[in-house]
Chains A and B, each alone.
Chain A
Amino acid sequence: MSARRIVLTSGKGGVGKTTTTANLGAALALRGKRVVLVDADIGLRNLDLVLGVEKRIVFDLVEVVEGRCQLRQALIKDKRLENLSILPAAQTRDKTAVSELQMSDVVAQLGELCDYVLIDCPAGIEHGFRNAIAGANEAIIVTTPEVSSIRDADRVIGKLRDRGLPVRLIVNRLRPEMVRSGDMLSVDDVTDILSAELLGIVPDDEEVIDTTNRGEPVALQSESRLAVIYDKIARRLEGDVIAFTQFGTPGFFGRLFRKAG
């Protein structure tokens, strides 16, 4: 049985693709799933750093593609979760070092080894993006509730739908107090504008910065509220129906002006 191969993408950079990939991967692994994370951002690798495995890299994606090592040799096993592995990107090469066909082939091979392949897509919609989506059969769009992020997400959703990939949405870095005061787009606004199915809502939390500093995914901090949130997203991916936490329903003035506007 082949794995689900999911690309996490956004168009815009800096919205939390890598953090989301690492945490969703960790949450799925915590649920007993075999997960491989692929860093498709060749030349700007970071997934290794977020997961805290940067010192253990021996081989990378480009070396696998060029046949200089076996696929299994390049996979780094997480020390905290034995069923979580990462295939790091090359840092000293550029995105043209890999073709769509090669990428698709690597992802298909990984699919034989695990239950989930999560592909961390680089920002943009050029070569790196096309590579990252080449081997995927599902997509998760990560967006923040900001105009530039949403516009880029819309563009990417269009491209993914053209390829027939099912698309779901994670709204990242939501600030409930701003939504309440009407100064930030709500999750309903975002899903309404993008007309995409919602997979998860992740509130903005300083803990992400703190845990990333240490190379420990926040999804592994059992006392963290974000760990609960990533676990819910993982369960939704598994097909469970879980109600969404209502973060920051627009308050009195938000509603008042929304109606007036």
Chain B
Amino acid sequence: MLQFIQRFFGKPPSSATAKERLRLVLLSDHLSLAPDVVEALKHDLIEVISRYVDVDVPNCDVTFEQREKEVAMLANIPILGMHPRPVPPPPPAPPPPPSRGPDLPLLDPTKTGASVAVAERPPAVEPPPAPKPAKPKASGPANGHRPTRRKRRKGMSTNTAAPATS
């Protein structure tokens, strides 16, 4: 009866916990990954998807299934809706990087990327360009990594002050 009451008030049976813990630990045993790495993988996966669509994060379920000789990752990620236009700017960015990616290294050897970086830094220390970086700064943190790359490209072609601050 005590058990019944405990159950009624929400103490879940431990076998479900055991099963989930085992799944996770065996996965990391098989992949030679630490459990926190697997957790981080789950987290990043959901984060990446939520950049493109509105994800029901609390109901996301990423599990790993042991098959005969391999492990399969199964992600059940409910989508609440598509993001309105403002966020999509990142999507066009991913296709370019492969094409632009080579561009950067190409630019680097010719113009020497290291020297560009050095050239960018000094203006940052200079007080006069400071007011200009204020605007890029506002958009910078909101968009994450890719925008900073863009700023650099802009900086290389136009103003070196903006990238210097980032």
B21 contacts A by Cβ under 8 Å? yes
A195 contacts B by Cβ under 8 Å? yes
Q: Mark B62-91, 1 if CB is under 8 A from A, else 0.
A: 000011110000000000000000000000
A182 contacts B by Cβ under 8 Å? yes
Q: Mark A218-261, 1 if CB is under 8 A from B, else 0.
A: 00000000000000000000000000000000100110011011
Known contacts A183-B13, A183-B15, A254-B13: A155-B22 contact under CB 8 Å: no
A155, A182, A193: the one within 8 Å of B16 (CB): A182
Q: Which chain B residues border A158 with CB–CB below 8 Å? A: 30
B68 touches A193 (CB 8 A): no
Q: Which chain B residues border A146 with CB–CB below 8 Å? A: 18
A184 touches B67 (CB 8 A): no
A260–B18 Cα gap in the complex (Å)? 15
Which of B14, B30, B68 has most A Cβ within 10 Å? B14
A207 contacts B by Cβ under 8 Å? no
A209 contacts B by Cβ under 8 Å? no
Complex interface residues of chain A between 173 and 222 (CB less than 8 A to chain B): 179, 181-186, 189, 193-195
B29 touches A182 (CB 8 A): no
A4 contacts B by Cβ under 8 Å? no
Which of A154, A257, A258, A260 has most B Cβ within 10 Å? A257
A182–B3 Cα gap in the complex (Å)? 11
B25 contacts A by Cβ under 8 Å? yes
Query: Secondary structure of the B side of the interface?
Result: helix
A30 contacts B by Cβ under 8 Å? no
A32–B13 Cα gap in the complex (Å)? 44
Q: How far is the CB of B1 from chain A (nearest CB, A)?
A: 12
A33 contacts B by Cβ under 8 Å? no
B3, B12, B15, B69: the one within 8 Å of A184 (CB): B15
Q: Which chain A residues border B22 with CB–CB below 8 Å? A: 147, 150-151, 193
B39 contacts A by Cβ under 8 Å? no
B21 touches A147 (CB 8 A): yes
B19 touches A257 (CB 8 A): no
Task: Please classify how large the interface on chain A is, using the bins under 10, 10 to 19, 20 to 34, 35 or more.
Answer: 20 to 34
B42 contacts A by Cβ under 8 Å? no
Q: Which chain B residues border A193 with CB–CB below 8 Å? A: 19, 22-23, 26, 66
A147 touches B29 (CB 8 A): no
Q: Which residue of A lies closest to B7 (CB)?
A: A253
Q: How far is the CB of A76 from chain B (nearest CB, A)?
A: 39
B20 contacts A by Cβ under 8 Å? yes
Q: How far is the CB of B69 from chain A (nearest CB, A)?
A: 8
A195 touches B66 (CB 8 A): yes
Q: Which chain A residues border B14 with CB–CB below 8 Å? A: 182-183
Complex interface residues of chain B between 6 and 61 (CB less than 8 A to chain A): 7, 12-23, 25-26, 29-30
Q: How far is the CB of A147 from chain B (nearest CB, A)?
A: 5
A195 touches B16 (CB 8 A): no
A229–B19 Cα gap in the complex (Å)? 26
Q: Which chain A residues border B26 with CB–CB below 8 Å? A: 151, 154, 193
A253 touches B13 (CB 8 A): yes
Q: Which chain B residues border A253 with CB–CB below 8 Å? A: 7, 13
A151–B13 Cα gap in the complex (Å)? 20
Q: Mark A110-144, 1 if CB is under 8 A from B, else 0.
A: 00000000000000000000000000000000000
A182 touches B13 (CB 8 A): yes
Q: Which chain B residues border A261 with CB–CB below 8 Å? A: 12, 16-17, 20
B15 touches A195 (CB 8 A): no
Instruction: Identify 14 residue pairs between A and B in the complex whose beta-carbon atoms are under 8 Å apart, listed by A's number.
Output: A150-B22, A154-B29, A155-B29, A158-B30, A161-B69, A179-B15, A182-B16, A183-B14, A189-B15, A189-B19, A257-B12, A258-B15, A258-B16, A261-B20
